[in-house]
Structure 1
Amino acid sequence: MSIVPETRLTIGEALFRLLRDDVPVRFEAFDGSVVGPEDSPIRLRLLNERGLSYLMTAPGDLGFARAYVSGDLQIEGVHPGDPYELLKAVMSRLRFRVPPATEMVQIARSLGFGNLKPPPPPAEEHVPRWRRALEGLRHTKVRDAEAIQHHYDVSNRFYELVLGPSMTYTCAVFPKADATLEEAQAEKYDLVCRKLDLKAGDRLLDIGCGWGGMVRHAAQHYGVRGIGVTLSQQQAQWAQAENERQGLSDLAEVRHSDYRDVTETGFDALSSIGLTEHIGVRNYGDYFAFARSKVKVGGRMLNHCITRPDNKGRASAGQFIDRYVFPDGELTGVGTIVVAMQDAGFEVRHLEDLREHYGLTLAGWCQNLVDHWDEALDEVTLGRAKVWGLYMAGSRLAFERNEIQLHHVLGVNTSADGDAAYPLRVDF
């Protein structure tokens, strides 16, 4: 009795077997196989065995990112600074299935069992969480500093090109749909100032201050004395120089410091804009207790944070984000934040979701990267620039699809007799 040899699949055929529907864009592999619509304006070209190994050993966003960042997977039809249209097509219409075990064996044999050995990751990738765990507990001062430096101590000039003159790396607030990115960032800072009810002579603590935009805005427009703290030395140096350039050094100070090392107390207000994502959900209690200890009775705290649309999922931000963008970053639902603020003694007075505004913000940053692509490559590697385009475009789509959100939560350090120093109605 003769044995019929098993049919070997091409890379394209193997990919087709793993999908529920057709491939939404054109896919071409180095073995000559092709799948997807011939007239698609977007094409993916898998160039070699290493790229295939990346995809096989880390299915999903991490494997895709490794192959793309390393140059083993090329994208045509979109700019690397803004691959939004590719991600929109893939995330909207690419759905995988789990084939039977026998079919999975055939796919693996066809693609080569040797490709199940992971190649070394691209240089832009941070070490995995298990390796970081061997070096110390998550969210210690040392490990937090290392995580922040991985992302922020890249190149201040690169950030100037991407973020624009405001040097503000958090969600803007668009007063109208056609507002410029700079107008929207100024409106964001002003909205925070209004929510905190800042007045001339007030003292503000801004933790996780980035390049100091919040303390400068509060100083310049409200006459506030502000202290900002950041774990990034490059941010602090840039911010202090900008404070001096604008003649605000007598009111605005930015320190290279862990927020937990701030010794001053009695602040009229505290802002935390984009820091909560970095501190770890388990540390929320200590974080908000620290914040309340710094704010005088009747003072306010405004927490601005990326959130999940529920409070049930894992806090991890995902493999690609963890390895390439925000090591140790964690996201949870706004309900978890509200509970932690209340348990720390804050009275929560106002909550607002600004997720659509973050989609618009990210679209602006991607356009800046496209417009300044050649200059950006003078500052960072091609792989790093690709990471930024991929992460910002993907994040934009996630905000648009309500997969992540952006919440403002305003709390008051209410007095023992219930005085919140808060008006009956507010008009921010």
Structure 2
Amino acid sequence: MTLAKVFERLTGAGAPVEFAAYDGSRAGRPGSEIQIDVRSPYAVSYLVYSSGALGLARAYVAGYLDVRGDMYTALSRMQQVFDDVSLADRLRIVREVAGDPLLRAAVSRRLPPPPQEVSTGRSFLRHTKRRDARAISHHYDVSNTFYEWVLGPSMAYTCACYPRPDATLEEAQYHKFDLVARKLALQPGMRLLDVGCGWGGMVMHAARHYGVKALGVTLSKQQAEWAQKAIAESGLSELAEVRHLDYRDVTEHDFDAISSIGLTEHIGQANLPSYFSFLYGRLKPGGRLLNHTITRPDNTQASIRKEGFINRYVFPDGELEGPGLILSEMHDAGFEVRHEENLREHYAMTLAGWCRNLDDHWDEAVAEVGEGTARVWRLYMAGCRLGFEQNWIQLHQTLGVRLGDDGRSGFPLRPDWEPQG
């Protein structure tokens, strides 16, 4: 069997993809807009010793495979790969390449993972302050310049909210921050705590547009430095502040509102009770919490895939829960949940914008962070876009309030945060 045929069989013979290998073999659909180039026999080694999706990901990140054409389109056409390849299938690959000396030599040794892969380590140590700091640094301390190219001027690395289908990414990110502000009922003179604040987008939005005194905290040193500089340059230093700090080390109390936009994914299921209890304790009576997080569609799956691509390459120790669990944990911590919505289609649109930005700055990105890291991001964002579109993952905003001593919530009879048309 030719090398190209090996990959055609793995991804599905009916996939509208063309395969071309370094040995001159070809398979699949000739002339397809998506072409998979097999550049080295070592790509087969990754397939034999890893599950289907992880093996292909390792081969791509290492540069042994290349994808010509749009990555999102390629992944949507090869969804068979997302199912693990059985041991019998892998043994068949070994038998079928045995006649080629180069391929036989390649599959005879187990290659180490590409250097971009993180060792998951012992799970019982997950989510200590030290380990969380390392995990956050792995993902967010890549390069502020790289993030500027991918995220655009907003530097918002969370799901945008599109007010209309033709809105730009920047318009949608502004609308997201403003939606959070309106759900929290921010008013001049209030105090806002933004946990996991990233590059300070919510902090600066609240200070600039609502006159709120806002404190943001992040475990990423590069994010904090970038945000502090942006706050100073924007003339917002009297109202906005970002600290390089674990949210658990915030000592201030009596905040009027708390926003958590994209942090809960890093908390871990076992720590959700203490997380929500901590935030509850930092609010004054009548204060609101807006929790914005990626979730699984339900609670029937494990919250973390330790052997998966995302955990190994992108978000070490990241855990996704079902939306029902998030809501229940908020209730159990004392919050009254007043509103909840799923924005998963918005995240698919957000990721499409980030993918375009990376493609538009591909050469600069490779020069800045290296080809392997750029490949991780290209694969990760395209795959997540597909995941949100097909409901493998979701994005939920949950709004809760710490009731006053008299049981009053301070909420209007009907939600008033959407613009009246």
TM-score for the superposition, normalised by structure 1: 0.91
Q: Note if 1:196 corresponds to 2:184.
A: yes
The one of 178, 195, 205 aligned to 1:217: 205
Q: Tell me the equivalent position of 2:260.
A: 272
State the alpha-carbon separation in 2 of the partners of residues 20 and 152 from structure 1: 35
Q: Tell me the equivalent position of 2:17.
A: 25
Q: Choose 160-169 or 316-325, whichever is displaced more.
A: 316-325
Q: Choose 52-61 or 294-303, whichever is displaced more.
A: 52-61
**1:41–1:349 distance in 2 versus 1, CA, 3 Å:** same
The one of 297, 300, 307 aligned to 2:285: 297
State the alpha-carbon separation in 1 of the partners of residues 11 and 358 from structure 2: 33
**1:342–1:390 distance in 2 versus 1, CA, 3 Å:** same
Deviations 1:356-398 (A, max 9, x none): 1111111111111112222222311011111111111111111
What is the aligned-residue identity percentage? 57
The one of 116, 122, 128 aligned to 1:140: 128
Q: Tell me the equivalent position of 1:361.
A: 350
The one of 377, 390, 405 aligned to 1:401: 390
Deviations 1:57-82 (A, max 9, x none): 1122221111111111122233xxxx
TM-score for the superposition, normalised by structure 2: 0.92
Q: Tell me the equivalent position of 1:54.
A: 46
The one of 6, 11, 33 aligned to 1:41: 33
State the alpha-carbon separation in 1 of the partners of residues 61 and 392 from structure 2: 24
Instruction: Tell me how far 1:14 sits from its aligned partner.
Output: 4.3
State the alpha-carbon separation in 1 of the partners of residues 199 and 143 from structure 2: 12
Equivalent residue of 2:321, what SS?
Answer: coil
**1:236–1:425 distance in 2 versus 1, CA, 3 Å:** same
CA contact (8 A) 1:266 1:295 kept: yes
Task: Give the counterpart letter for 1:427 in structure 2.
Answer: D
Equivalent residue of 1:379, what SS?
Answer: helix
Equivalent residue of 1:169, what SS?
Answer: coil
**1:89–1:237 distance in 2 versus 1, CA, 3 Å:** same
Q: Note if 1:119 corresponds to 2:111.
A: yes
Q: Tell me the equivalent position of 2:59.
A: 67
Q: Choose 110-119 or 347-356, whichever is displaced more.
A: 110-119
CA contact (8 A) 1:18 1:97 kept: no
Instruction: Tell me how far 1:84 sits from its aligned partner.
Output: 1.1
**1:17–1:125 distance in 2 versus 1, CA, 3 Å:** closer
Instruction: Tell me how far 1:97 sits from its aligned partner.
Output: 9.0
**1:208–1:106 distance in 2 versus 1, CA, 3 Å:** closer
State the alpha-carbon separation in 2 of the partners of residues 50 and 308 from structure 1: 34
Identify the structure with bigger relative contact order (alpha carbons < 8 Å, sequence gap 6+). Answer: 1
Instruction: Tell me how far 1:105 sits from its aligned partner.
Output: 4.3
Deviations 1:3-46 (A, max 9, x none): xxxxxx44344455556652431123345443211131211121
Deviations 1:147-179 (A, max 9, x none): 000011111111111111111100011111111
Task: Give the counterpart letter for 1:291 in structure 2.
Answer: L
State the alpha-carbon separation in 2 of the partners of residues 423 and 60 from structure 1: 52
Instruction: Tell me how far 1:125 sits from its aligned partner.
Output: 1.5
State the alpha-carbon separation in 1 of the partners of residues 125 and 87 from structure 2: 40
Task: Give the counterpart letter for 1:74 in structure 2.
Answer: D
Task: Give the counterpart letter for 2:186 in structure 1.
Answer: L
CA contact (8 A) 1:280 1:330 kept: yes
Q: Tell me the equivalent position of 2:93.
A: 107
CA contact (8 A) 2:61 2:373 kept: yes
Task: Give the counterpart letter for 1:118 in structure 2.
Answer: R
Equivalent residue of 1:298, what SS?
Answer: strand
The one of 317, 322, 325 aligned to 1:328: 317
Task: Give the counterpart letter for 2:76 in structure 1.
Answer: K
Q: Note if 1:85 corresponds to 2:77.
A: no
RMSD in angstroms over aligned alpha carbons?
A: 2.1
Q: Note if 1:350 corresponds to 2:342.
A: no
Q: Note if 1:341 corresponds to 2:315.
A: no
State the alpha-carbon separation in 1 of the partners of residues 345 and 15 from structure 2: 29
CA contact (8 A) 2:290 2:398 kept: yes
State the alpha-carbon separation in 2 of the partners of residues 100 and 391 from structure 1: 25
State the alpha-carbon separation in 2 of the partners of residues 156 and 17 from structure 1: 41
Q: Tell me the equivalent position of 2:406.
A: 417
**1:170–1:293 distance in 2 versus 1, CA, 3 Å:** same
Q: Tell me the equivalent position of 1:312.
A: 300
Q: Tell me the equivalent position of 1:5.
A: none
Structure 1 unmatched ranges of 5 or more? 1-8
Instruction: Tell me how far 1:104 sits from its aligned partner.
Output: 6.0
Task: Give the counterpart letter for 1:235 in structure 2.
Answer: Q
Q: Tell me the equivalent position of 1:153.
A: 141
**1:51–1:97 distance in 2 versus 1, CA, 3 Å:** closer
Equivalent residue of 1:410, what SS?
Answer: strand
